[in-house]
Chain A
């Protein structure tokens, strides 16, 4: 089990939160915390999710979080995805070289 915090900016469309939660659950994570603030006349949402994953031996945390990032990032209304902090020793960026924006934003 590991815990991470993901920051997301998204356009404030009616389905965006529901879809975000659905994708997160479907890709193997449990949401243990969530904050949402709106800005720019409520047109943009800043979302912070605290996530837990329960990985089995065949699915490494690195691969799972990379998969979640990519799946979130391709959602129409989501504009940025940022792994803000992680209990992981490190996220191996080589496992997700296709998403360099994610790599740039990992702090």
Chain B
């Protein structure tokens, strides 16, 4: 190591990251971040070169989701920094702890419209929990400490640290220490501000009374359960309450798919059983969820008869979209444990609930069975509408293929599935079977196409022994397919399952159903040869077009030692069902048109 650089800002930054347990960084070099890259050259931290800064940010998200660690990404000033923005917005929306480090032009040049200068602090304010600009070397350690504290405390989220080039090269005479921020110490020594004055015990007792008196309770599980690592507490509460349970998109996996009384996902493309149970319930126990519009449908008709116990770490989510009768604030690991204790002493009349539970179970059995049969018999014929070209129909049903994928995913010790955004994402949510939080890694809040492949890269790096499958569509795949080079570079055994309908499928579906079949700019039939693209990156690949090929192809993909791309031609006009139409209540969901 260059001795002159030992105590430079760049080296200090890396040393501090190491002290916070950072072992991996995703990034892309450039002019204003060169001192950091010079330090990385001899650092113990492994840097993963992505081929676009957006890929680096999303790899950091995938890394954080799969490992429950902080994801770190890095980019240069100007365009490098702006390319991180979509990833930061994604992390903000899904509450993912990510630290983004950006280079900046030297402090003397700042504000002069210098080459590759952009005001990334201002640009980042709406998509980070906090943004730091380190203008003096002596502030560096404090900023990094605060950044980790802010990113991981309360509701997690992304934090940006912008470091001008002269601060990166500046050398300190002082020995490097892990300096604790005065502000942080103040924050730690006082109770969280949202809890001031709340009589917590009374709130829990009120919650317990509501639970005991409810005749049709439903547990509504969001992504907060996985974020809080509260799977065990959730399982205990489910056992105690013996109540029907539904999950949001981000909550998938927190309840094992085969758990008794689990009704599946709620919302626009959720199960009818989940939506109907919610609509009829008299009590929702909401765990780490935020009543997202895709989950609630028409809000003022959502669960019209239900009282609400809302458990969340973020006080700003309480009463934001649905008034809570009892808010319980804090990390779910603690609040669920407290609720379990209180509820245990105040047991409900189980016999009264049995009828409700039986009803919900019968709904999931009959409705799902009938939906599957309908899908098979009608959509398999491709007879969706008069504009369906007969040549577009193939024998491969994407939903059945995903259902079959489960048997191959369950084989290994660990698995993670990432998705992009669109029809394939909803089918994956509906048909794949998860047993733990964070096995399903998707862009849930922001809905970012291009998320799946870089997220899979991050997940695979954090979990080298996991079977990581990225389910994608032909539209999304092309938004970050440059990251195939990252898969090649690090020999990552990521499997890519590309469901190709030569369309922007979900937009096309809405055009078909709600825009009079005016298919504006959703035809992607001029897509490139995806197998040839994969092979150009030395990734083994094949295309399948027939149902008879599915099982062998899935087996080949999942058993492949290295990366693999399975390109599946699916029916152009296959739709995602069931569906809550726009501006409709969830009980108005339709099986099909």
Question: Is there contact, CB below 8 Å, between B320 and A67?
Answer: yes
Complex interface: chain B residues within 8 A of A67 (CB): 316, 319-320
For A61-84 the 0/1 string (1 means CB < 8 A from B) is 001001100110110100100000
Question: Is there contact, CB below 8 Å, between B198 and A100?
Answer: yes
A18 to B316 Cα, complex, angstroms: 20
Question: Is there contact, CB below 8 Å, between A73 and B130?
Answer: no
Interface status of A26 (Cβ within 8 A of chain B)? yes
A14 to B136 Cα, complex, angstroms: 14
Closest approach, in angstroms, between the C-beta of A31 and any C-beta of chain B? 16
Complex interface: chain A residues within 8 A of B300 (CB): 58
Q: Of B122, B131, B198, B316, which contacts A70 at CB under 8 A?
A: B316
Interface status of A95 (Cβ within 8 A of chain B)? yes
Interface status of A38 (Cβ within 8 A of chain B)? no
Q: Of B125, B197, B198, B320, which contacts A15 at CB under 8 A?
A: B125
Question: Is there contact, CB below 8 Å, between B194 and A99?
Answer: yes
Which chain B residues numbered 87 to 134 have a C-beta less than 8 Å away from chain A? 121-122, 125-126, 129-131, 133
Complex interface: chain A residues within 8 A of B122 (CB): 18
Closest to B197 in A: A100
Complex interface: chain B residues within 8 A of A71 (CB): 316
Interface status of B318 (Cβ within 8 A of chain A)? yes
Question: Is there contact, CB below 8 Å, between A76 and B316?
Answer: no
Q: How many chain-A residues does the 8 Å CB contact rule pick out?
A: 26
Which chain B residues numbered 537 to 552 have a C-beta less than 8 Å away from chain A? none
Closest to A103 in B: B197
Question: Is there contact, CB below 8 Å, between A97 and B327?
Answer: yes
Which chain A residues numbered 87 to 102 have a C-beta less than 8 Å away from chain B? 95-101
For B307-320 the 0/1 string (1 means CB < 8 A from A) is 00000001110111
Question: Is there contact, CB below 8 Å, between A98 and B131?
Answer: no
For B523-538 the 0/1 string (1 means CB < 8 A from A) is 0000000000000000
Question: Is there contact, CB below 8 Å, between A98 and B318?
Answer: yes
> Known: A18-B122, A70-B316, A95-B319. Contact between A101 and B129, CB under 8 A?
no
Question: Is there contact, CB below 8 Å, between B133 and A70?
Answer: no
A73 to B318 Cα, complex, angstroms: 13
Question: Is there contact, CB below 8 Å, between A95 and B323?
Answer: yes
A63 to B322 Cα, complex, angstroms: 10
Which chain A residues numbered 30 to 78 have a C-beta less than 8 Å away from chain B? 58, 63, 66-67, 70-71, 73-74, 76
Complex interface: chain A residues within 8 A of B131 (CB): 15
Question: Is there contact, CB below 8 Å, between A98 and B197?
Answer: no
Complex interface: chain B residues within 8 A of A70 (CB): 315-316, 318, 320
Closest to B323 in A: A95
Question: Is there contact, CB below 8 Å, between A98 and B198?
Answer: yes
Closest to A73 in B: B193
Complex interface: chain B residues within 8 A of A15 (CB): 121, 125, 130-131
Closest to A14 in B: B133
Question: Is there contact, CB below 8 Å, between B125 and A11?
Answer: no
Complex interface: chain B residues within 8 A of A104 (CB): 196-197
Closest to B154 in A: A74
Closest to A11 in B: B183
Complex interface: chain B residues within 8 A of A76 (CB): 129-130, 150
Question: Is there contact, CB below 8 Å, between A96 and B125?
Answer: no
Closest to A26 in B: B126
Complex interface: chain A residues within 8 A of B316 (CB): 67, 70-71, 73-74
Name, among B121, B150, B299, B323, the residue most crowded by chain A CB atoms within 10 Å (CB to CB). Answer: B323
Complex interface: chain A residues within 8 A of B125 (CB): 15, 18-19, 22
Closest approach, in angstroms, between the C-beta of B2 and any C-beta of chain A? 32
Sample 19 A-B pairs with CB under 8 A, ordered by A number. Answer: A11-B183, A15-B121, A15-B130, A15-B131, A22-B125, A26-B126, A58-B300, A73-B193, A73-B194, A74-B194, A74-B314, A76-B129, A76-B150, A97-B327, A98-B324, A99-B194, A99-B315, A100-B197, A104-B197
Across the A-B interface, give the 10 residue pairs with the lowest CB-CB distance, nearest first: A70-B316, A100-B197, A98-B318, A98-B315, A98-B327, A101-B196, A76-B130, A71-B316, A19-B125, A74-B316
9 more contacts with CB within 8 A, not counting A26-B126, A101-B194, are A19-B125, A58-B299, A67-B320, A76-B130, A96-B318, A97-B198, A97-B318, A97-B324, A98-B329
Tell me the B residues contacting A by CB distance below 8 Å: 121-122, 125-126, 129-131, 133, 150, 154, 183, 193-194, 196-198, 299-300, 314-316, 318-320, 323-324, 327, 329
